[in-house]
Chains A and B, each alone.
Chain A
Amino acid sequence: MSIAAQPKTVTLDHFTASGDELPLLRISTAGSVDDGKSTLIGRLLFDTKAILEDHLDDVKNSKVNRASRGIDLSLLTDGLRAEREQGITIDVAYRYFSTARRKFIVADTPGHEQYTRNMATGASTSDLAVILIDARKRFLEQSKRHAFISWLLGVRTLVFAINKMDLVDFSRQIFAQIREQSNTLLSLLDGVQVHFIPVSALDGDNIVTKSSRTPWYDGPPLLEILEAAQPGVDVTALPLRFPVQTVIRPDSDFRGFAGQIASGRLRVGEEVTALPGGQKSRVARIVTFDGDLDEAFAPMSVNLVLADERDIARGDMIVTASKEASQAQTVEATVVWMNEEPLVAGRSYLIHQGPRVVSARVSRILHRWDVEKLETRDTSSLSLNEIGVLEIEASEPLLFDPYRENRATGGFIVVHRISNLTLGAGLIERKSLNVSGRGPLLPEERLQLRGHSGAWVDLSQAHELIDAVERALLTEHLHVVRTEQPELRRFGLIVLTLGYHQGTPDVVVDRSDLHSAIVAIRASTILGALHVFGEREGI
């Protein structure tokens, strides 16, 4: 019996959503202790009728009731005995509810610092974060931390619910103040979409329907925002990434690579590369139990047969040949530390990138984030709930895209070699500078090492400025030379010339002042690492 003989086939619409079905929205919630987060979720579940009567009876009959009036809705979500007794949320809980328009999964995560690791866990899969703020307090350090962690983990829609508005007489002024206080933070988080809503979770104001007690608020209620929210990124539009989970080989005629498509789309006949080996082949079959497909997309679980015999194993990644993922043994990554035992530079850990497990050493800690001031600090270790940027040297290549570009391939977890505990979560920023590398430098490596791209700056119309320009650029540690060979810009140099040659200069400095000359040069050479990686596509 040969399985390959006459495969049955199936069309893609066997798997796809029908016209009006909105994709599931994954929400995480965060707030400080007593901001009323569990009550808010209880309210959402209650008002969307996701709570079953016997569960509600359990709450009504419970020995605990901390609500000032009515039933204690927080008991619907505080599931563990210790939580009910202490009135705090200990661990991330997942809740399910749906409206006529959409299905939702809520990751209810604890607010107090001790359990920040659970917040990062909840945010890692979320499309949208609801951050609670107590109207009687200010925009606290905790709220900053929550917004920052959500953003770091790739959540791009933040909803600030200013709760307990009933306790401040639904004051428009207080609402405006808190909004104002958050401005500094929000200016640092690029690419986020932000909403502010005045609510009372206890009474249900602006949760499902607009409240008559906030006539000054002209936005929609919370549920309407959730129903309309777009999932952050269309993963099917990213390049194909297919981490191989297992090889399925029921007989000598069939060899399939099974996995879940992490991002992108895939067609029979498409040219693919297997990393880290770099072998190329074509997709011969996309096999599922329901039949062979011509085409598949993330996040489908499929079984790929390639046209050629290839040595591919669990932990390898099949990618589109037209845009391969990065591979590197030394990377820079932002790490959220989740264990009592601190992370120390020099120590060795296991890194799990889904099915790919490699041994790795923390070669240095570049800095840690002070999430209250949103500044970086020097450090030699990372304690529980601290976030730092590390350089990691792996024993084998890591296969990745920067986390900002692709959440499915930029993350990893750090695992203890002996206890097997998950110690932290990492977000890969970039391939690290590789002094021991061999072969020609890649343009991106050169860009990283120099910290800026090359440019040809012609000063023939402003001869007298050339010394001042050279001095200013050197002071900023830019790689600048005076020469008659503008083609050296190819190697990442800023070339200053005094006269036209063949070709077009990137910057022509005329008789204006030095300052505008420097601004123009800065703009044409991409400066600063953050900048570089945000705009790598355009180089």
Chain B
Amino acid sequence: MSQSFVLSHLRALEAESIHILRETASQFCNPVLLYSIGKDSSVLVHLARKAFYPGKFPFPLLHIDTTYEYPEMIEFRDRFTNEIGAELRVYTNQDAINAGANPYNLGTAKCCHLLRTSALVAGLREGNYDAAIGGGRRDEEKSRAKERVFSFRDRAGRWEPRNQRPELWNFYNGAVNPGESIRVFPLSNWTEIDVWRYIELENIPVVPLYFAKPREVIVRGQTLIPLQSNVKLLSGEQPEMICCRMRTLGCTPCSGAIRSEAGTTRSIIEEIISFRRSERENRLIDHDQEGSMELKKREGYF
């Protein structure tokens, strides 16, 4: 029988991501993996375990906790990181929260800037990390499509899209001077469907919010907002029981659910194949204005 020497699509993506993670561990003094609790983070952590096997992966996980995330996410975070024996660090922009930052009074754009973008930049600075690994994918959004695998950030954490380092072959230039850093995107070439297929193939645990079940939600425009203790009802709004799931995870006021019957990984994959709309559509913050992701990224958002 003749042996095929062609890697399957998912194994080729896996091999590339492992290469990137090993480069990160080798080129930097103090790398950190930005752990957002979402499905992409679960995949990243799984790949990191593979990359350094039989050793442990040599960087901590950093969660930027806005304090407005779903309780199921925090539960999952603590259980998952404990099970795999990873070191979890949590950073919250406590000054902003003490000063009264919240999505209800400030609006989602300003709140997100304070509790995510600023918190991320401050958290990275506090930890003195020279590399931050994130789960960003180029298929998510137009400005992300131009992102390098090793993406340079200046001392203020800013991205300059017009002046990025050329990135040839699989050679990643991570050289930085003190205070500068690199954002690393090992999942750059993955698509949403690849992520789900890999979760299925490798049986990777993800937050149960991704799977459909009847939930109490508020219907606001096109978006379903699961009823959580801190979501404020607008006048005329009534909670309804709807079978739904989250396509991406974030803060309770900003990430909506979609109507869905997909209760298993397999049915989610089938659902995405039939979908004609992008996963970030229900992320309210990404649509504040035309080019809004690019503006946030320039300031330091992932």
- Please tell me which stretch of B85-93, B142-150, B229-237, B249-257 contacts chain A, meaning at least 4 of its Cβ atoms lie within 8 angstroms of it: B142-150
> Which chain B residue lies CB-closest to A90?
B162
A93 with B146, Cβ < 8 A, contacts A52-B275, A52-B277, A411-B171 known: yes
Docked Cα-Cα span, A407 to B170, in Å, equals 11
Q: Which residues does chain B contribute within 8 Å of A90, judged by CB atoms?
A: 146, 161-162
Q: Which residues from A are CB-within-8-Å of B54?
A: 3, 248, 250, 254, 256, 287, 303
Contact string against A for B residues 241-285, beta-carbon threshold 8 Å, 1 for contact and 0 otherwise: 000000000000000000000000000000000011110010000
Residues of A within 8 A of B173 (CB): 352, 413, 415, 420, 422
Kindly identify, within residues 1 to 55 of chain A, every residue whose CB is under 8 Å from any CB belonging to chain B.
3, 12-13, 15-19, 21, 23-24, 49, 52-55
Q: Which A residues are in CB contact (< 8 Å) with B52? A: 248, 258
User: A6 vs B106: C-alpha distance in the bound complex, in angstroms?
Assistant: 58
The total of chain B residues at the interface (CB under 8 A) is 60
B158 CB to closest chain A CB, in angstroms?
15
Which A residues are CB-close (under 8 A) to B295?
81
Measured between beta carbons, the chain A residues less than 8 angstroms from B145 are: 77, 79, 93-95
Do residues B164 and A91 form an inter-chain contact, with CB atoms below 8 A? yes
Q: Are B18 and A260 in contact (CB under 8 A)?
A: yes
Please indicate the chain B residues that have their CB under 8 angstroms from the CB of A297 in the complex: 5, 7
Q: How many residues of A contact B (CB 8 A)?
A: 82
Asked whether any CB of chain A lies closer than 8 Å to the CB of B69, the reply is no
| Bound form: Cα–Cα A52–B8 in Å | 26
B277 & A53 in contact (Cβ 8 Å cutoff): yes
Given A289-B50, A413-B168, decide whether A16 and B6 contact each other with a Cβ distance below 8 A: yes
CA distance in complex: A355, B169 (Å): 12
Tell me, yes or no, whether A299 is within 8 Å of chain B by CB.
yes
Provide the main secondary structure of the chain B interface: loop
Docked complex Cα distance between A286 and B4 (Å): 18
**Beta-carbon contact of B278 and A55 below 8 Å:** yes
Q: A63-B290, A248-B55 are in contact. Are A299 and B15 (CB under 8 A)?
A: yes
Could you tell me which residues of chain B, from 278 to 302, have a CB within 8 Å of some CB in chain A?
278, 281, 290-291, 294-295
Contacts of A92 in B (CB 8 A): 146
Contact (Cβ within 8 A) B142 A77: yes
| In the assembled complex, B16 has its CB within 8 A of some CB on chain A | yes
Give the contacts of A141-179 with B (CB-CB under 8 A). none
B278 touches A54 (CB 8 A): yes
- Nearest B residue (CB) for A407: B169
Question: Are A301's CB and B146's CB within 8 A?
Answer: no
B215 within 8 A of A: no
B21-29, B35-43, B76-84, B121-129: which lies at the interface: B21-29
Closest to A290 in B: B50
Q: How far is the CA of A95 from the CA of B144 in the complex (A)?
A: 10
Pairwise interchain contact B168-A354, C-beta atoms closer than 8 A: no
Q: Is A493 an interface residue (CB 8 A)?
A: no
> B14: which A residues are within 8 A, CB to CB?
301
Cα distance A248–B55 when bound, in Å? 7
Which of A119-127, A182-190, A388-396 is the contact stretch? A119-127
User: Knowing that A76-B142, A411-B169, A415-B175 are A-B contacts, what are 14 other residue pairs whose CB atoms are under 8 Å apart, sorted by A's residue number?
Assistant: A16-B7, A17-B8, A77-B142, A79-B141, A82-B162, A90-B146, A91-B162, A118-B166, A246-B25, A297-B7, A300-B11, A303-B54, A355-B26, A425-B168
Binding site for A on B (CB under 8 A): 3-9, 11-12, 14-16, 18-19, 22-23, 25-26, 49-56, 138-139, 141-146, 161-162, 164-171, 173, 175-177, 188-189, 191, 275-278, 281, 290-291, 294-295
